[in-house]
Chains A and B, each alone.
Chain A
C-alpha cells in the first residue's frame, strides 16, 4: 500500500495503480441553485440500475415533498426539499412565518434566492461523493470496494460479504446495507455507462443541468465560474461544497454548489476521511503494544524477583 490517506491527490486513479493511460477523473457537479426538485434523477437512477422500490410504503413522510428521505442501499440519488421560513433582507428571521401564523400583509419584500416573504424552498440532489480519500474503500476487507479507472468508487456486489465495516467509515453516511443479506450498495456513477462512453443516467435525465457530469478538472472550473456569477448577482450565501482538494477527504468526485450552510441540506460541514489517522493510530497502537509488552515483561521479570 503506497497510496496516501489524506490531503490533495492529483491523480487518484494513478495512485490506485492504474497506468498512465487511464482516463481522466470523472465527476458530478450538482448545481443546486437550478435544481427544480423534479426527481428525474432518482427515477432514472432506479430504472437504469434496476433498484428495488419501497420508499413511500407508509404514505407521505410529511417532510415537504421528500418521500424518499435519504440515500440508501436502494436510493442512490436523493432529492432533499428544504422548506424554511425566509430570512429578511436585513438578516432577521420572519417570526410570523417561523411561527406558522403567517400574516400575509407584513411578510416583507421577496428577495432573490428567497423568493417568497414567508418561505424558501431549497432543493438538492444528493449522491455518493466519490471521495478522493474514500474510507469505505480503505476499510473494505474483501476488495469489494475498488477505485475505478475513472477515479470513482464502486462496490462489487458479488464480492461484498456484508461485513458492513464501510458503513460507519463513510463520513457522509452514504453507503448502506440491504436488509436481507447485509450487502452494501451505493452510486456507481453508472460505471457500466461510463465504460460505454455514456454519461450517468441521472445527469442524462436532469432537465435543468443541475447535475453536470464530466472531467472533474473541467467541472471545477465551471463551478468556479458559476459561483462567481451568483456572487455578482448578490447571492452571497452561495458556496461550493466538496470542491476543495485540501478538505478533509481530499475533495469530492461529486461536489455541489449550495445556497446555504451544508447543515441546511443535511450535509456534514467539515467531513474528514475516517481513515485519516490510520498511520498515527498504527503508530500509537504499536507504541501501546510495545508498552504493554514491556510492562508484561517487566511483570514477569518483577515476578521473578
Chain B
C-alpha cells in the first residue's frame, strides 16, 4: 500500500500512531513492510491456503462473533443434500462438467429453495455449460450475487445441522491447518499463530479488523475467490458493515472505481446493471424478469434500467417501444480484453481505441498484444505521450526478432494527445466510493483535449455522417440525447452537465435519491447508484469542508455512493435489536423513541423499518427483508458465507495452484489448478504445466512508487524517470549464489513466451521460502518499462501467459514460473531460438 498508494497510506500511519497493529502479507518486503509491525512473506499464489487457515482457526475454536453470524449471515441456512464438496470429489464441487470445464450451480442450493442465479445472467446460468459465456458473476451487481426470490431457507440457528452452512464450512476448511500453511505458503506455524491470534483478538463487539488488498489478490486464476475467502473470515468475525472493519480494494489508478461504476467493462451497464444477452433478453420484460432479484433492492431493477434508457434516449424512449431497450448492445459471449486481443490476432477485430491504456507494456503477454495491434485496420491512441502501443510498428521487440516488419504492418495509427486531470473538470471515484470533483486549472497544451471533448465531438461527427439514414441499425446513435452545453476555447462539453445527467432528473428537477426512480418513464438517471450526487441541484462531489469542522465520519467531504453512505451495510453495526454492539463501535442504531435509524452515517437501511419487522410471505423488493437483514442488496438480506449461485468456480473458495506453479497441489494432487479457469490453449499462448525443472522459479510482477503502471505517465518525466532509471529484477542472495547472478550485473529471465533482460538487485528483502523439504525462490519484477521515454527497459509483462479468472476475466499476472540466468538476453532471432529451446526441454508443444 505504501509502495503503490503512498497518499492513502497516510491513514495507516495515523492508525498506527493510535495503536493499530499493521501486518503486511506479501511475497516481497516493500515500503509497506518497512513500516509494518510484522511482515509475512508468502509464496505468490498461495493466499487462499493462508486465509482459509485463518477461517479454520476461527471455526475450530468457535471464535466467531456468534450473535452476528447467526443473525446476519447465511451460516444457519441448510443446504440441499445434492451438494458435494471438493473435499469429497478430489478437488471439484458437484455440478462440474469436465467437457465444458464449467459448473452447473443447481446442486449448490439451499434445501427446499429453487435457487436461481445471479442478477443479469440467470438464463445463461441455468443453461449451464455455457462455459465462459459473458456476463456471469460480474452481472451480479454491486451487492454481490442476488439469490433466489424465495430465499427463505430452512435454518438451524444452533448451527449444528450437518448440512447447515456453518458445518459445511467447518468441514471444507478442516485441512487448512498451520502445517498446510507452512507447506503451501512458506509461513512458519509460530508466525501464523501470531497473526491468527492478533486478528481474532482484534475482532468482536469492541474491536474490528480491516483487510486491504490490491491486485496481489485479484490477478490470479482464482482471484475472485481470494476476496471471497477474506469475506468469509470478515463475516465470521463480524467485521463487515462496522467502523474499522471491511475489506478495502485499493484500485490500480485514479478513478478506476469510477470506471467500474460507470463501466468500461463489456458485460456491465452503469450501476452494475448487467448487459443484456443477445438471445435470452429480447425485450425488457424478459430481461427484468430474469434479472430482478425480486427481494432486496435489486427488486427495483426495472426502475433503474428504464431511468437509464430515458437518460440515454430521452423522448425517443417510450413505453410503446420498450423504452428503447432494443437499442442496447447485446452480448454474444466473452468480449473481454484478452478475447478481443485474440480476435485481433485472428483477424476478426479490425479497429481499436486505446484511451489511457498501454497494453504493449501493461497487459499480460505483450507479444500477443503487439501482434494484435499489428493486425488491425485502424488504431486510435489517446495518451499523454507516444507510448509503446502507439509506436509498435516502429520499435516493437518483434521487429528486432523478425516476427514483424514495419513495411508489412497495415495498421493505420491515429495518435491524439490527451489532456491531464488538471486540464479538465470532472470527478474521481476511488477506493472508498467517494466522488471528488476536480476543477480545471489550466487549458490543455497544443492539440491535447479532454476525453469528454473527444467522445462528444466524435459522437457529433458520427451523427452528422449518419444524419438522414433510414437504416434501423443507425437509430441507437441517432436517437441518443447528445446535446451537452459546451464551454471554453475548445468547446469542451460541460462536465457539470454530464454529472447532472448521471445524477438524473424527475418531474420536479434534479433527483436526490435512487429511491425516487420510477419505471414509468418519469425519471431519467445515468447511473442509479450515483443518484443524489447533485441532490438539490448542488454539486455535492465538490464539497470540501475540512474534517475538523464536521463529524468524524466527514459526510460533507465529496459524496459517496450510494446516498452518501460512507460504510455499506452499516445496519450491521447495530445488534439485531438495533442497539450498538458496543459504545466503542457505535455507528448506526435504532432510535426507539423517534422510531427511526440514526447515527454518524446515513443508515444503509430503510430509515423507519423497525428491527422487529418481519416480512409477510408475499412481500417484494426491500419489503421482503426483515428488520434484522442488513445486506439489503441480497435477496435474503444475509451476508453469504456460502454462495449458492453467482460464482463460476464454486460456492466456496478452495486452494488451487496458479496455472504455472513449482508445487504439486498438496490438497488435491489430481486437481492442480482451478478447473474452470478461462484458458486459451493455442500455439501463441504456451503455458508451462506443473513439472520438470526447466522453469524452476516463481516470479511475480509489481509496481514501484516512482513509476505509474505501464510508464506512460512517469517514464517520460525526468524527475520521476531518474528515480528508477531502468528495468531491474529483485533476487535473494541465495538465488544469486545459486544462479551466479551479480549485484548490479545483468540477468535474463525466461518463460515459455519470451525472455527479457534486467539489471540485478540482490537484496535480503526477497527471501527464499522453505515449504516442507523444498525451498522456493521468488523473483520480483517491476513492470514499468518499455522502449520509449527516458527510463527504458524490457517489459516484465511480456513474460506472462494468458489464463484468466472465470468470474471477472482477469489475468494471472501475480504468480508464474520462469528460469533466470546471468547475462543479457540474445538479440534478434537468437532470442526466439533461446525461448524455443527452453520450451522444447520442458516438453511444451506448439499447441501450447
Contacts and interface: CB of A to CB of B under 8 A. Distances in A.
Interface of A: 34, 36-40, 42-43, 46-47, 53-57, 59-60, 62, 64-65, 67-68, 83, 85, 97, 99-105, 107, 109-110, 112, 115-116, 118-123, 207-209, 229
A43 B737 contact: no
Given A116-B29, A119-B764, A56 B719 contact: no
Given A60-B725, A101-B734, A121-B765, A112 B719 contact: no
A116 B36 CA distance: 9
Contacts of A99: 733
Contact of A59 (B38, B720, B725, B770): B725
Given A104-B767, A115-B34, A207-B7, A39 B723 contact: yes
Nearest to A113: B37
Interface in B167-198: 186, 188, 190-191, 194
A116 B190 CA distance: 14
B718 A67 contact: no
A99 to B, nearest CB: 8
Contacts of B768: 102-104
Given A60-B725, A102-B732, 18 more contacts: A36-B6, A36-B13, A37-B2, A43-B723, A56-B721, A56-B722, A60-B724, A65-B724, A67-B722, A68-B722, A102-B734, A104-B769, A109-B194, A116-B29, A116-B767, A119-B764, A123-B31, A229-B17
B359 to A, nearest CB: 26
Contacts of A101: 733-734, 737
A57 B721 CA distance: 10
B6 A83 contact: no
A116 B41 CA distance: 9
Contact of B34 (A100, A104, A120, A207): A120
In the A-B complex, the 4 residue pairs with the closest CB atoms: A100-B733, A56-B725, A56-B722, A53-B718
A43 B733 contact: no
B186 A47 contact: no
Q: Is the interface of B mostly helix, strand, loop or mixed?
A: mixed
Contacts of A209: 10, 13
Contacts of B724: 56, 60, 65, 67
Contacts of B188: 105
Contact of B763 (A34, A64, A112): A64
A55 B29 CA distance: 25
B843 interface: no
Contact of B744 (A62, A64, A116): A62
Contact of A43 (B17, B719, B762): B719
A42 B705 CA distance: 13
Given A100-B737, A104-B768, A119-B29, A112 B723 contact: no
Given A53-B719, A60-B759, A109-B190, A38 B769 contact: no
A116 B33 contact: yes
Contact of A102 (B720, B726, B733): B733
B796 interface: no
A56 B190 CA distance: 42
Interface in B726-742: 726, 728, 732-734, 736-737
B723 A115 contact: no
Interface in B1-49: 2, 6-7, 9-10, 13, 17, 24, 29, 31-39, 41
B704 interface: yes
Interface residues of B, number: 56
A207 B3 CA distance: 12
B774 to A, nearest CB: 11
Contact of B725 (A57, A120, A207): A57
Contact of A62 (B34, B706, B719, B743): B743
Interface of B: 2, 6-7, 9-10, 13, 17, 24, 29, 31-39, 41, 186, 188, 190-191, 194, 704-706, 718-726, 728, 732-734, 736-737, 743-744, 759, 761-765, 767-770, 775, 791
> B17, B34, B721, B764: which has the most chain A beta carbons within 10 Å?
B764
Contact of B706 (A39, A53, A57): A39
Contact of B770 (A60, A104, A123): A104
Contact of A116 (B39, B719, B733): B39
A262 B687 CA distance: 51
Contacts of B39: 110, 115-116
A64 B191 CA distance: 27
Contacts of A67: 722-725
A82 to B, nearest CB: 10
B31 A36 contact: yes
Contacts of A47: 719
B383 to A, nearest CB: 21
A268 to B, nearest CB: 24
A40 B720 CA distance: 10
B555 to A, nearest CB: 24
Contacts of A46: 719
Given A34-B13, A112-B37, A118-B767, A104 B722 contact: no
Contacts of A37: 2, 31, 34, 705
Contacts of B38: 110, 115
Nearest to A120: B34
25 contacts: A34-B13, A39-B705, A54-B722, A55-B723, A57-B725, A62-B744, A62-B761, A65-B724, A85-B764, A100-B764, A102-B764, A103-B768, A109-B194, A110-B38, A115-B33, A115-B34, A115-B35, A115-B36, A115-B38, A115-B39, A119-B764, A121-B31, A121-B765, A208-B9, A209-B10
A208 B2 CA distance: 10
A43 B17 CA distance: 26
B198 to A, nearest CB: 12
A83 B763 contact: yes
A123 B744 CA distance: 21
A85 B41 CA distance: 16
B779 to A, nearest CB: 15
A104 B773 CA distance: 12
Contacts of A68: 722-723
Nearest to B34: A121
Contacts of B36: 115
A113 to B, nearest CB: 9
B35 to A, nearest CB: 6
Nearest to B33: A115
A112 B771 CA distance: 26
Nearest to A47: B719
A118 B764 contact: yes
Given A34-B35, A60-B728, A115-B36, A100 B762 contact: yes
A207 B14 CA distance: 11
A60 to B, nearest CB: 5
B33 A121 contact: yes
Contact of A123 (B34, B191, B762, B763): B34
B187 to A, nearest CB: 10
B725 A38 contact: no
A198 to B, nearest CB: 17
B15 to A, nearest CB: 12
Contact of B726 (A38, A60, A85, A118): A60
Contacts of A62: 743-744, 761
A39 B705 CA distance: 8
A49 to B, nearest CB: 11
Given A121-B29, A122-B34, A43 B705 contact: no
Contact of B186 (A55, A57, A104, A229): A104
A62 B728 CA distance: 10
A101 B9 CA distance: 32
A265 B171 CA distance: 52
A109 B29 CA distance: 15
Nearest to B721: A56
> A65, A68, A120, A209: which has the most chain B beta carbons within 10 Å?
A65
B34 A56 contact: no
B6 A40 contact: yes
Given A104-B769, A123-B34, A65 B737 contact: no
B764 A109 contact: no
Contacts of B720: 43
